[in-house]
Amino acid sequence: MSEERNLEYLKVFWKSPDIEDAKHNKIIVGMNWDESINSHLPKILDSEINKFDRVLEIGCGIGRILKPLSFKFKEVYGVDISDSMVELSKDYIKEDNIEIIQNDGYSLPFDGDYFDYVFSLLVFQHLGSREMMENYVRESNRVLSSGGLFKFQAHRVSGLYTYNPKVDNYGFFGIGVDESYINAILNIAGFTNIDIRGDGKWLWSKAQKA
């Protein structure tokens, strides 16, 4: 599938008619909203991250994780490919230090060397090609300042455009990746101190901009 079709597909798939659909059917698929936030926060916060000021989430949805982060960081940004997620975030996010922007699905619309911390949670498994993932890794390196951290979650199993009965739609998992691939793309992009941990079918990677 071409890159344009991948991007078009993601935009259509993530379009939500209202905030309840975005929250429960698309983002957390039946889980309790507050419990889902509490279970995911420890995965993206750790002691070294607490000293940072500027954070960016790739694929932030309506800002589920950005909201609690607004108390920890001075500037909190999110990008998302879905125009409706960005629109619905305006009802959900009232904090002055959070800004959510619609992006093109593969690049980060920020100057270089700006952020201390870039992360992505529950997003990279939806990307339709390795090129898209590699592009986000390169872009994350570009927008991070030296010493900044990049943390993302990916999935081992590929199921490109498979049917997901829970959301009665297609496309839950895009590409599957493994540790050696992630290690290679982080290295090529200029990251050091790479730490990749398996969590069942999921993988969590942490790396530092040199």
Chain positions contacting ligand SAM, by CB under 6 A: 10, 14, 27, 58-61, 64-65, 79-82, 85, 103, 105, 121-123, 126-127
Q: How far from 32 is each of 23, 29, 207, CA to CA, in Å?
A: 10, 9, 31
Q: Which is nearer to ligand SAM, 88 or 182 (CB)?
A: 88
Q: How far apart are CA 37 and CA 28, in angstroms?
A: 9
Smallest gap from Cβ 114 to ligand SAM, in A, equals 18
Q: Which is nearer to ligand SAM, 80 or 116 (CB)?
A: 80
Smallest gap from Cβ 46 to ligand SAM, in A, equals 17
Smallest gap from Cβ 45 to ligand SAM, in A, equals 14
Q: How far from 17 is each of 60, 80, 83, CA to CA, in Å?
A: 17, 16, 11
Task: Give yes or no for a contact between 145 and 209, defined as CB atoms under 8 angstroms apart.
Answer: yes
Single out the residue of 156, 139, 157 nearest to residue 148, CA to CA. 139
Smallest gap from Cβ 196 to ligand SAM, in A, equals 19
If one counts every other C-beta atom within 10 angstroms of the C-beta of residue 120, the result is 24
Q: Which is nearer to ligand SAM, 122 or 207 (CB)?
A: 122
Q: How far apart are CA 82 and CA 148, in angstroms?
A: 27
Q: Taking the CA atoms of 126, 106, 52 and 178 in sequence, report the sign of the dihedral they define.
A: positive
Smallest gap from Cβ 53 to ligand SAM, in A, equals 21
Q: Which is nearer to ligand SAM, 100 or 182 (CB)?
A: 100
Query: Could you give phi then psi for residue 120, rounded to 5 degrees?
Result: -145, 130
Smallest gap from Cβ 205 to ligand SAM, in A, equals 16
Q: Which is nearer to ligand SAM, 162 or 192 (CB)?
A: 162
Q: Which is nearer to ligand SAM, 8 or 147 (CB)?
A: 8
Residue 200 amino acid letter: G
